[in-house]
């Protein structure tokens, strides 16, 4: 039985979502110069209520972008600077003894927020990185055997520097897979750099004012669930994921030899969730194949593991993704 008529998005709901998304988009554009891919990826993560990994050299407004998104919807923001001596309890929280009451009290860590920025996550130890797994996957934390539910809107925005590897700890595949998206942030153009300086002079970045509340974002997230995705698109997604696992059947041995590990089922789920969010951002109530293509880099680049031969031959993960997307027929 087809229930799409009962759960379809009404014109009124679509109009309201378009208005909210447009306002957030304008707010972001006023405070962040350029970085349109970053802007869209953060908005997709917000609507899909998923986590995002940002990769770039320092100083390209990753922290600012996360704070701007938080300010726009009046959310709670928490920034954690990852260092090798950071402990799991520094993130999750711990039990502290209260001498005046002669009892232990629970102190919840900075992980309890709507937006948690893990700055330079690859500088923290593997033990500390794994401490975020339960929070990211189960949306809860456990302190002294007691479970604390995290907010309904809970998004981890982690950053890592791809250049400097000294004193860093590579993220394990299991943790990488829990990020819905991975976005690479590029340098601004010369004109964008000038615009940044002009806005700094005018103190544009100092203006902080929330335009929406968390309830408005929850409204958008519920609408995303109602966005229609056809079975043909789902088949298209599954075929792409299958091509990452058995690349020799799709892109030949010349490129498939560089792939060490393909995507898990989380890749399929990410494609579906993100394509629905992207469709709503673009003002549609249904997913089209172009949404999947547009999301291919951000969904797959951290789910495809390349071997050392790829590094030696200067083969990027984006090249592999392009080959896979070109080999899988578009519905």
User: Burial level of 191, CB count in 10 A (0-12/13-18/19+)?
Assistant: exposed
At 328 the three-state DSSP class reads coil
Q: 184-229: per-residue pLDDT in tens?
A: 888 878 888 888 888 777 776 666 666 788 899 999 999 999 999 9
Per-residue pLDDT band for 2 (boundaries 50, 70, 90) equals very low
**Is position 93 within any domain?**
no
Do 135 and 261 lie in one domain? The reply is no
240 in the same domain as 218:
no
Are residues 174 and 239 located together in one domain of the fold? no
* The total number of structural domains that make up the chain: 2
- Is 208 in the same domain as 125? yes
Q: Out of 204, 226, 248, pick the residue that ends a domain.
A: 226
CA distances from 1 to 4, 6, 225, 307 (A): 9, 11, 18, 46
Task: List pLDDT tens digits, range 127-167.
Answer: 888 878 778 888 888 888 888 899 999 999 988 877 655 55
Distance CA 216, CA 206 (A): 24
Q: How far apart are CA 221 and CA 23, in angstroms?
A: 16
- Specify the pLDDT at position 119: 87
Residues 260 and 308 in one domain: yes
Mean pLDDT across the chain, nearest whole number?
87
Please report, for the domain that includes residue 282, its CATH number: 1.10.8.80
Is 104 domain-assigned?
Answer: no
Same domain flag for 316 and 251: yes
| 178 lies in the same domain as 285 | no
Q: Are residues 237 and 210 in the same domain?
A: no
Using 50, 70 and 90 to split pLDDT, how confident is the model at 301?
very high
**CATH number of the domain bearing residue 191:** 3.40.50.300
Rounded Cα distance between 206 and 58, Å, is 21
Q: Residue 288: which domain range?
A: 229-331
Most confident of 40-44, 171-175, 192-196: 40-44
Structure confidence by residue, pLDDT tens digits, 229-262: 999 999 999 999 999 999 999 998 899 999 998 9
pTM, rounded to two decimals: 0.88
Within this chain, do residues 209 and 64 fall inside the same structural domain, yes or no?
Answer: yes
């Amino acid at each position: 039985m087809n229930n799409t008529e009962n759960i379809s998005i009404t014109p009124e709901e679509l109009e309201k979502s378009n208005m909210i998304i447009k306002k957030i988009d304008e707010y972001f554009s006023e405070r962040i110069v350029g970085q349109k891919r970053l802007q869209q990826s953060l908005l997709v993560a917000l609507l899909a209520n998923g986590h995002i990994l940002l990769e770039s050299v320092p100083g390209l407004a990753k922290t600012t972008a996360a704070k701007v998104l938080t300010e726009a919807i009046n959310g709670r923001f928490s920034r954690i600077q990852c260092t090798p001596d950071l402990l799991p309890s520094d993130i999750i929280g711990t039990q502290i003894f209260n001498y005046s009451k002669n009892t232990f009290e629970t102190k919840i860590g900075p992980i309890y927020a709507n937006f948690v920025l893990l700055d330079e996550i690859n500088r923290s130890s593997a033990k500390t990185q794994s401490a975020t797994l339960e929070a990211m996957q189960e949306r809860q934390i456990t302190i002294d055997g007691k479970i604390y539910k995290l907010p309904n809107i809970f998004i981890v925005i982690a950053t890592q520097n791809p250049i400097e590897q000294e004193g860093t700890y590579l993220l394990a595949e299991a943790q990488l897979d829990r990020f819905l998206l991975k976005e690479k942030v590029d340098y601004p153009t010369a004109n964008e750099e000038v615009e940044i300086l002009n806005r700094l002079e005018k103190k544009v970045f100092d203006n902080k004012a929330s335009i929406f509340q968390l309830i408005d974002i929850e409204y958008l997230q519920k609408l995303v669930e109602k966005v229609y995705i056809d079975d043909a698109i789902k088949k298209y997604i599954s075929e792409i994921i299958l091509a990452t696992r058995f690349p020799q059947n799709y892109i030949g041995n010349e490129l498939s030899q560089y792939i060490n590990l393909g995507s898990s089922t989380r890749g399929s789920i990410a494609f579906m969730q993100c394509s629905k969010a992207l469709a709503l951002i673009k003002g549609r109530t249904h997913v089209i194949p172009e949404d999947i293509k547009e999301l291919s880099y951000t969904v797959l680049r951290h789910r495809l593991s390349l071997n050392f031969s790829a590094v030696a031959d200067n083969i990027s993960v984006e090249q592999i993704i392009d080959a896979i997307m070109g080999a899988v027929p578009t519905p």
